[in-house]
């Protein structure tokens, strides 16, 4: 069976991402030009590149996302709010906030909930994605707790990973997160990030979403794939056969 239908479905769900430690303005320009040409959902960049990205993508329909409290997931809510406000001032459409996952692992629920709630308030109408770092939380009960906490505190979407840890997205974690989204009413979204490189990887996660949430649920508003390395594979699958 051809990969083309999956690729056609997945490409508009992609968040093209450059969160490399050596990112440059030239690399961001190339990323944004690729995003415009491909019709992806968004780019995700460091806060210092938000203003540049916003200018390059004006009128394209491609959204600009950035990260706060990233990647360590610290406990400083005031700093996370400041980062959020600065990014929104520069034109960001979406904020990807790292949950204070160590606090949750230590049984300190309130600091984690408070940070999400405070950043939610700072976001206004901007989309808030909360990164759970499921590869560190590891245990199904903790992943489920983090999912419920983030949704209850105001997340529009929950996201698996920063992509900076040894273990990122896994089907097991994604299934738990989808269950939480379904149980919360099904109107929130999911972003899968880290380790998704092939069309088969994308197909696996789309199939999970279809099974748990229904075949029409996964749209750019509710389902994102944060994986720039997947982009070339999707384009290759969409090329006409020679």
CB-CB contact of 87 with 122 (8 Å): no
The angle at the Cα of 54, spanning 168 to 27, to the nearest 5 degrees, equals 60
Phi, psi of 27 (to 5 degrees): -65, -40
Q: Is 191 a catalytic residue?
A: yes
Q: Is 96 a catalytic residue?
A: yes
What does the DSSP assignment read for 96-132? EEEP-HHHHHTT-HHHHHHHHHHHHHHHTTSEEEEE-
44/57 Cα distance (integer angstroms): 12
* For helices 199-213 and 171-183, angle between their N-to-C axes, nearest 10 degrees: 30
Options 93, 96, 156, 201, the catalytic residue: 96
Options 93, 129, 156, 159, the catalytic residue: 159
Q: Is 221 a catalytic residue?
A: no
Options 3, 93, 191, 201, the catalytic residue: 191
Which residue carries 């909360």 as its tokens?
130
CB-CB contact of 132 with 99 (8 Å): yes
Catalytic residues: 96, 159, 191
């Amino acid at each position: 069976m051809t990969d083309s239908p999956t690729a056609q479905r997945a490409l508009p769900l992609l968040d093209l991402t450059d969160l490399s430690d050596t990112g440059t303005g030239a690399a961001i320009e190339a990323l944004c030009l690729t995003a415009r040409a491909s019709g992806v959902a968004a780019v995700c960049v460091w806060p210092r590149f938000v203003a540049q990205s916003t200018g390059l993508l004006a009128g394209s329909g491609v959204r600009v996302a950035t990260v706060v409290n990233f990647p360590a997931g610290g406990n400083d809510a005031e700093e996370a709010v400041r980062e959020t406000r600065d990014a929104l001032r520069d034109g960001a459409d979406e904020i990807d906030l790292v949950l204070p996952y160590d606090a949750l692992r230590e049984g300190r629920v309130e600091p984690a909930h408070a940070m999400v709630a405070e950043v939610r308030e700072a976001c206004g109408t901007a989309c808030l994605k909360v990164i759970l770092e499921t590869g560190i939380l590891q245990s199904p009960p903790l992943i489920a707790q983090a999912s419920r906490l983030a949704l209850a505190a105001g997340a529009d979407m929950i996201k698996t990973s920063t992509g900076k840890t040894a273990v990122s997205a896994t089907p097991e974690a994604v299934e738990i997160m989808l269950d939480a989204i379904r149980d919360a009413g099904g109107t929130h979204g999911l972003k899968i990030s880290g380790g998704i490189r092939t069309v088969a990887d994308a197909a696996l996660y789309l199939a999970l979403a279809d099974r748990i949430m229904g075949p029409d649920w996964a749209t750019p508003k509710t389902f994102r794939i944060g994986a720039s390395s997947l982009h070339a594979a999707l384009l290759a699958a969409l090329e006409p056969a020679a």
